[in-house]
A and B are shown apart, each in its own frame.
Chain A
Amino acid sequence: MNFEPVTLSEKDKDLREEVRSFLIEHKCFLTNSSAIDPWFACVPEFSRLLGAKGWIGMTFPKQYGGAERSYLERYVVIEELLAAGAPVGAHWFADRQIGPLLLRFGTEEQKNHFLPQIIRGECFFSIGMSEPDSGSDLASIRTKGQRVKGGWEINGQKTWTSFAQNSRYMVLLCKTAAKSEDRHEGMSQFIIDLESEGITRRPIQNLAGEEHFYEVFFENVFVPEDRLLGSEGNGWNQVMAELAFERSGPERFLSNFQLLDEAVDVMRSSISRESTKQVIGQLVARLMVLRQMSLSVACQLQSGALPVTEATIVKDLGTSFEQEMADCLRMHLLVEPGEDAAERIGQLLSGSILKSPSFSLRGGTREILRGILAKGLGLR
């Protein structure tokens, strides 16, 4: 395993300053509701502003409207946005994984059609993987795609689909062939227009009271031939290729950085300041190391490697950090958490606690990740 440390250049510093100035200018978007879990806060208007700055699809080729910037440059931009609690949810999945997926497996027509819109911050995607009976065991999905004249017909149901209402499109994984020996065979990915006939979307309230995920029902939904993504039957491999991108980024440990920042502010002026130094130092040390590990993976992705095991480690350690943060801090903050707490710190604690279960669920549960690692260690 490789986590060679990385240092950033002067050029990266300039870019960082540019993002900070932008955030000061657009301070009105940095609200309490996006402070915790900013990449699950959907504000299309903000996404369009980022698109105009060239900060979506930054690494994509110029021929599709991208800037061909490096993964480290993208890293600098997204970590600044996340740390500030900026609402980047609307375009998040399109930028992070659908774009790279299209670049890798999409047809020229698909790339020309979707990538420029994604880059402008005008085209948002949801991810259609989980189903009511298929969570961690993704290969057991039952949603079916059947060949019909001129394309495919989809029947089935997806669930936990974030932003199905705000996204125009979904990349759907479904079965396109009958059962075979290898359960990873016979799956394909489709680009679905969520406004197609036969699709019903129903919101599910999460335990923090938000409605960002949905159940999506497909009843005889027609998908034209040219919206098959990649090759028929190769869906599983295509999904697995997304994982190194999906699991190693700064969103795996910065979901609630605003809580830490606010806590340090509160403690700074507190009378029990002495006793809080240690807990802050421990959290900050963990954050420094996680950030370095994550940067290291970004660098490896840049060089064309696919460090899946390393990404898995970043996600497991990072989401544990996010989940433990509120528990570490609450003992040192004389405040009761609550959405309606008088002080901001109480509200952030509440958000952080109520949203924390999802931190380690989305993108592969802790147990699945550790299984992957065990395989990498030669135990499976």
Chain B
Amino acid sequence: MNEITKLIEESVSSLFVQYANSDADEIMESGGFPAKFWDEFSNGGWNSIALTEDDGGAGMGLAGGYILMRLSGYHAVPLPIVESIICTYLLARAGLPLTTGFTALAVVDSAFQADGVRFVPRIPWARHASGLLVVMPGETNARVAFVDRSKWSVKERANMAGEPRDDVTLTSDAFEEVHELSGVCIERVFSWLALGRAAQMTGALSKTLERTVDYANERKQFGKLIGKFQALQQYISVQAENTNAAQCAVDTAVIHLDTPQEWECIAAAKISAGESAGNVCRIAHAVHAAIGFTREHPLQMSTRRLWAWRDEYGNEARWATKLGDLCLELESGHLWSWLTEQTNR
């Protein structure tokens, strides 16, 4: 890890530690917005981290953004970190003015335009947004339109973790101007969001592992620490394996951004994070037993998110089908050479 990365991690972590607690989570779950937390995050310029230095960013590209996204998962931050960082990046890339408030992000498919359907389900944090960036498919590049808050209505919904995932309906005159995202197709935007969730998941997986090891080292039954029982040691080792695999997969995808292997590595990352999430939550809850099955215990702040996130921006099946399709399209006998190309740069 280089110096600048370390500095970023340290300052963002201290911000997250200060504000991401069960009170903030409670505000979110009851439909509110932790506004002070958001202001601190946004005023610190953190949602611009992926922008070039000329645009006011850290010049680290999306890779810098993924550091923050991982930390937001680790600290169970009740704010739209992934969406705001990627949305800001897209606004800049499309040459649109940056917003001070939170702009929600909707990636829509071709049905949205063709049929004039103006309903978009499950948009993260839409109820608290001051604007909406709609990303639509184009001939090759994706197209984007910024939609003013007066042009859409919201039906409030939530994912399993209680994070806002609202249904949005746009008015027929919602789009004033449509811009092109040069060099970015719609699938790419979707995959960046998928990697954002996967990065958050690796954070939540690490936190869950820490909690589980700590608990096993403090809880006693039958006169000894439960972590001394072989059965539990074996479980927790598997949990650690899954946690490390997902982390490596996400790190790999991040260093392959802007390479020909970008989406393949992201697919592997989202699949790995999703599979690990299932295994890890099962084990963590087994170890924590009944105490972890309460809203009061902080374990659920990570595990409910993990369960929800594995299905957002494409679950394991969605990405595996896409990857499998590519493998079946390869010429006979080329599976191995394709695999080895995935570590090129």
Which of A53-61, A198-206, A273-281 lies at the interface with chain B? A273-281
Q: CB within 8 Å of A: which of B219-253? A: 227-228, 230, 232-234, 236-238, 240-241, 244-245, 247-249, 251-252
Q: Residue B240 contacts which of A20, A273, A278, A313 (CB distance < 8 angstroms)? A: A313
Q: Mark B315-345, 1 if CB is under 8 A from A, else 0.
A: 0110111111101101011011101101111
Complex CA gap A243/B24 in Å reads 47
Which of A141-149, A166-174, A290-298 lies at the interface with chain B? A290-298
A195 at the interface (CB under 8 A from B): no
Contact B267 A285 (CB under 8 A): yes
Contact A4 B251 (CB under 8 A): yes
Contact A367 B234 (CB under 8 A): yes
Contact B248 A3 (CB under 8 A): yes
Complex CA gap A5/B178 in Å reads 39
Q: CB within 8 Å of A: which of B192-235? A: 213, 216-217, 227-228, 230, 232-234
B268 at the interface (CB under 8 A from A): yes
Q: CB within 8 Å of A: which of B152-172? A: none
B255 at the interface (CB under 8 A from A): yes
A207 at the interface (CB under 8 A from B): no
Q: Mark A317-345, 1 if CB is under 8 A from B, else 0.
A: 10000000000000000000000000000
Residues of A within 8 A of B340 (CB): 8, 16, 79
Main secondary structure on A side of the interface with B: helix
Query: What number of B residues sit within 8 Å (CB to CB) of A?
Result: 52
Residues of B within 8 A of A373 (CB): 237, 240-241
Residues of B within 8 A of A317 (CB): 241, 245
Min Cβ gap A319→B in Å is: 12
Residues of A within 8 A of B328 (CB): 264, 267-268, 273, 276-277, 280
Contact A7 B345 (CB under 8 A): yes
Contact B324 A261 (CB under 8 A): no
With known contacts A261-B336, A281-B320, A379-B236, A3–B251 Cβ distance under 8 A: yes
| Most-contacted residue by chain A among B216, B264, B336, B342 (CB, 10 A) | B336
Residues of A within 8 A of B249 (CB): 285, 288-289, 292
Contact A281 B336 (CB under 8 A): no
With known contacts A5-B248, A5-B252, A379-B228, A281–B241 Cβ distance under 8 A: no
Complex CA gap A139/B275 in Å reads 37
Min Cβ gap A297→B in Å is: 10
Q: CB within 8 Å of B: which of A244-260? A: 257, 260
Min Cβ gap B146→A in Å is: 35
Residues of B within 8 A of A79 (CB): 340
With known contacts A288-B268, A317-B241, A379–B233 Cβ distance under 8 A: yes
Residues of B within 8 A of A286 (CB): 271-272
B265 at the interface (CB under 8 A from A): yes
Residues of B within 8 A of A278 (CB): 317, 320-321, 324
Complex CA gap A216/B43 in Å reads 73
| Most-contacted residue by chain B among A83, A273, A282 (CB, 10 A) | A282
The 10 A-B residue pairs with the shortest CB-CB distance, nearest first, are A281-B320, A281-B324, A277-B324, A374-B233, A281-B323, A280-B324, A370-B237, A373-B237, A3-B248, A285-B271
A13-B344, A278-B321 given; name 12 further pairs at CB < 8 Å.
A1-B244, A264-B328, A264-B330, A279-B320, A279-B324, A281-B271, A285-B320, A292-B343, A374-B233, A378-B217, A379-B216, A379-B227
Which residues does B use to contact A, with CB under 8 Å? 213, 216-217, 227-228, 230, 232-234, 236-238, 240-241, 244-245, 247-249, 251-252, 255, 264-265, 267-268, 271-272, 275, 316-317, 319-325, 327-328, 330, 332-333, 335-337, 339-340, 342-345
